[in-house]
Structure 1
Amino acid sequence: MTPRIVVVYGAAHEVVDHVRAVRAAGDIPLVGDGRWPAAQREAVHDLVRDARPPLGAAWASLTSGSSGTPRVVLRTAASWEQSFPAVSALLDHPAAAERVVALPAPPSSSLTLFSVAHALSGGPRPVFPGHDGSLAEATSFHGTPQALRALLDSGKLPRVQTALVGGSRLDEGVRAHAESRGIRVIAYYGAAELSFVAVDDGTGLRPFPGVDLDVRHGELWVRSPFAALGYLGDGGPLRTDGAWATVGDLAELETGTDTRTLRLRGRADGAIITASATVIPEEVEAELRQIPAIADAVVFGYPAAGVGALVAAMLEPAPGSPKITTGSLRSIVSARLGPAHRPRIWFTGELPRTASGKPARAEVVRRALAGEVSRVAG
């Protein structure tokens, strides 16, 4: 009998049992988000209703949607299971303690669903926020940098010894805060389509065990047993070339004395073409985040006649920071960025985020173009 894709809903602490039941029936779980608007929920259900999953599909997960509408990614059971031993080694649980992992991101996010799958195969028992104070039991953490920062500030991770952090760039201040609390931090780069690609213990991104990396014309390609089968419905950024796959991320491989480290530059499809220059938003964002008054930033192209686009930035001010002005920003960025990379238009406010905590780039652009966010005054 051909397996069906079954959309699962429920409170986070209930999802593990729901997913277990779907898998036991030989079907494919896709965890939905109860906060979805009706139109999105209907679109997902329409997509899976008559779907014919490819042979071997066992899991369906959602991309983050940070650049637009989330996509449904299909993968085999083995594509996750083969990475479980390496992930267990990274989490490095003490032998005498029960293994418990805190999962603050919604179960609909692929990183949380991965940990649920790991739990069903004997991995750490998952615990979720808002359920009888269970985060206090956790010996490890798996989530985004934003969630780690919030939980550290709230003091809700008293027993955590290791934090596995993905989904977006880890600020070194968050790493330092965690390490000051005795927490070992392992950041990683990955994608819903590729799973784990590279890990960083504080000394630079290195290939995840079992993964080979190659940079072709500035674009990162991955040879990995953890890659997904593809998408349900219309395609996305995943492309393949034999055993190699890419989602279009730009990167460099830097060769050291004993290993190669990976430096990410951003997504090729997010590059800003301004006059005769090509600007990678993530490179500008990394510089902006070094400014003490800025907690986070999203850089994007603002349409402009004659030059294609102007570099624009939406800034999320750091709590308690003094008021940001365009004059102060221009003075600071002129010392950090070349002329083509300096934002010409500035917005400020709390960044919209996806369910997993990543900045929602497409929504930032929509709000800026619609005039729904504040421009930074001179």
Structure 2
Amino acid sequence: MPVARHVLAHAAERPSRLAVCGPGGELTYAGLAERISGAARHLRDRGVGPGSMVAVALADPVELLTAVLAADLAGATPLVGDPAWDRRRWDHLTTASLAARISAPLPQVAGPPVEGEARPDDLAWACFSSGSTGRPRAVIRTRASWTGSYSHLDRLAGIGLDDVVLVPGPLVSSLYAFAALHTLATGATAVVPGRWPGRSLAAHLDSASVVHVVPHRLPDVLRRPGSLRVAVVGGAALDAGGGCRRAAPPTASLRVAVVGGAALDAGARAQAAAAGVRVVSYYGATELSFVAADTDGSGLRPFPGVEIEVRTGAHGPLGEVWVRSPWLSQGYLAGAAGPLRRDAGGWVTVGDLAEPYRAGQVLRLRGRGDGAIQTGGATVVPEDVEEVLRQVPGVGDVVVVGLPHPSLGSVVTAVVEAPPARQPPRALLEATARGALDAAQRPRRWFVVPSLPRNPTGKPARAQVADRLAGGDPEIRRLV
């Protein structure tokens, strides 16, 4: 069933329940259902319907969700992109016929209910993925591959009707878009600031029982000042401090953090447990959706419905992760090139590496194959090195890349994120590397930068870091 029709059903059952709360306003389920229906009628009047693709690029997250759901109700495929892109950028990235571009809030048109037959194999969602390589490409998926996993996530994370779910990132990211739409399909309240809240994080968390984050943001969530009190929001826009102004009496603390996008270290889990927050982490990709989840800290195991193979041979002791599941995308729009590959048996991969794996075991990821560094005949997986260096006091985050070397092929290079006043000593970094890494893995060149470039999900943009290093960016300085 389309997510929009879930919203209409929730509006009929609990019309006054707050559906979505953003920086510019809020909507109850009744209000959201009315907006969706009126906007869907407008789209239908413009000839937008089944088989159409609609580009949605709105800065306001509530308006963006309204437009996405209106397209969904009209039977079209919404393609969510960056509101900063101009028409030329859209044309370059899509190379496909778009029925409409939505860059302003949709007008409301009165009339009868929007009717239409929806099938599980309809192309019902499209979004952009840049992964760790930089160039965005549009990934398209069926309705079943997008919404069929909702009930499994509800069960694994314990998300239900009475939850208030904080989605603290840009909805152009598939991770955060999925989180917001899953929340609305469930009938819970989605708090969508549209970007990382920064100083207002504590106020946002005071009105949340669940939060979706990427790994490097989890420590910020757990060390927030103030109480862990939670309120079930009854209906209000975000106030100046970031929270929802009107709320029902407090009922529970923040209890679940859903963490996706990269490895999660044991220290973060321990910190979460001390704060009384359960962590549900998962591994996936925009092209693959969910692949594996860790609900209790025991390690990643296949997400419901997913089969996993790790095929060894081309990457030394490691192998490529291949997946077969109901949650896979259809591929890239207009046949664009990308890391997604398929075989004749219905298995797909995006090139992620893992240790050898057998059914029933824990999946131990080791990064992306196309990011591996070949140095002096050895293969170094950057994520292995980064995991060690992130433990050094003063390191906000770190990216490890390979820089060209005349005899070694590449030399392992670390770019540390740290403010100028609190840069970790190079000697401490090198001592940590000597104590925990093999000789080939240890960085030979060290740089520091106040802030790493990041992709829309918040993960460091490895390719941008490498490009900036190669270009002699003066902001990236040698660590001496």
Contact 1:165 1:187 in 2 (8 A): yes
2:71 corresponds to: 22
CA deviation string 1:43-83 (max 9, x = no partner): 23444363489x83210012144321121100001002221
2:307 corresponds to: 212
The change in CA–CA distance for 1:20 and 1:198 in structure 2 (over 3 A counts) is same
Deviation of 1:23 (Å): 0.9
In the aligned structure 1, how far is the partner of 2:406 from the partner of 2:283? Answer: 36
2:143 corresponds to: 77
The change in CA–CA distance for 1:338 and 1:89 in structure 2 (over 3 A counts) is same
Deviation of 1:336 (Å): 1.7
SS at match of 2:67: helix
**AA in 2 matched with 1:112:** Y
Q: Which moved more, 1:182-191 or 1:303-312?
A: 303-312
Contact 2:141 2:329 in 1 (8 A): yes
2:89 corresponds to: 43
2:353 corresponds to: 250
Deviation of 1:308 (Å): 1.6
In the aligned structure 1, how far is the partner of 2:279 from the partner of 2:269? Answer: 6
In the aligned structure 2, how far is the partner of 1:50 from the partner of 1:195? Answer: 23
Contact 2:210 2:257 in 1 (8 A): yes
Deviation of 1:270 (Å): 0.9
**AA in 2 matched with 1:237:** P
In the aligned structure 2, how far is the partner of 1:304 from the partner of 1:91? Answer: 47
2:46 corresponds to: none
**AA in 1 matched with 2:471:** A
Deviation of 1:93 (Å): 3.7
- Counterparts in 2 of 1:158-307, with a 5 A limit? 158-159=229-230, 160-200=254-294, 201-217=296-312, 218-233=319-334, 234-241=336-343, 242-253=345-356, 259-307=360-408
Deviation of 1:111 (Å): 1.1
- Counterparts in 2 of 1:46-195, with a 5 A limit? 46-48=92-94, 50-51=96-97, 56-93=122-159, 98-129=162-193, 135-155=205-225, 158-159=229-230, 160-195=254-289
Partner residue of 2:478 out of 350, 358, 375? 375
**AA in 2 matched with 1:173:** G
Contact 1:5 1:48 in 2 (8 A): no
Deviation of 1:342 (Å): 1.1
Q: Which runs of 5+ in 2 are unaligned?
A: 1-49, 100-120, 231-253, 313-318
In the aligned structure 1, how far is the partner of 2:418 from the partner of 2:266? Answer: 17
Q: State TM-score, norm by structure 1.
A: 0.89
Q: State TM-score, norm by structure 2.
A: 0.71
**AA in 1 matched with 2:135:** T
Deviation of 1:321 (Å): 5.0
Q: Which runs of 5+ in 1 are unaligned?
A: none
CA deviation string 1:268-308 (max 9, x = no partner): 11111112111111111122223334232111110122322
The structure with the largest alpha-carbon Rg is: 2
In the aligned structure 2, how far is the partner of 1:244 from the partner of 1:100? Answer: 36
The change in CA–CA distance for 1:50 and 1:220 in structure 2 (over 3 A counts) is closer
Deviation of 1:369 (Å): 1.6
Residue identity over aligned pairs, in percent, reads 44
Deviation of 1:370 (Å): 2.0
Deviation of 1:149 (Å): 2.7
Q: Please give the root-mean-square deviation of Cα atoms over the aligned residues, in Å.
A: 2.6
Contact 1:51 1:232 in 2 (8 A): no
Q: Which moved more, 1:280-289 or 1:220-229?
A: 280-289
Deviation of 1:198 (Å): 0.6
The change in CA–CA distance for 1:205 and 1:146 in structure 2 (over 3 A counts) is same
CA deviation string 1:91-112 (max 9, x = no partner): 2147xx7122110121110011
Contact 2:373 2:381 in 1 (8 A): yes
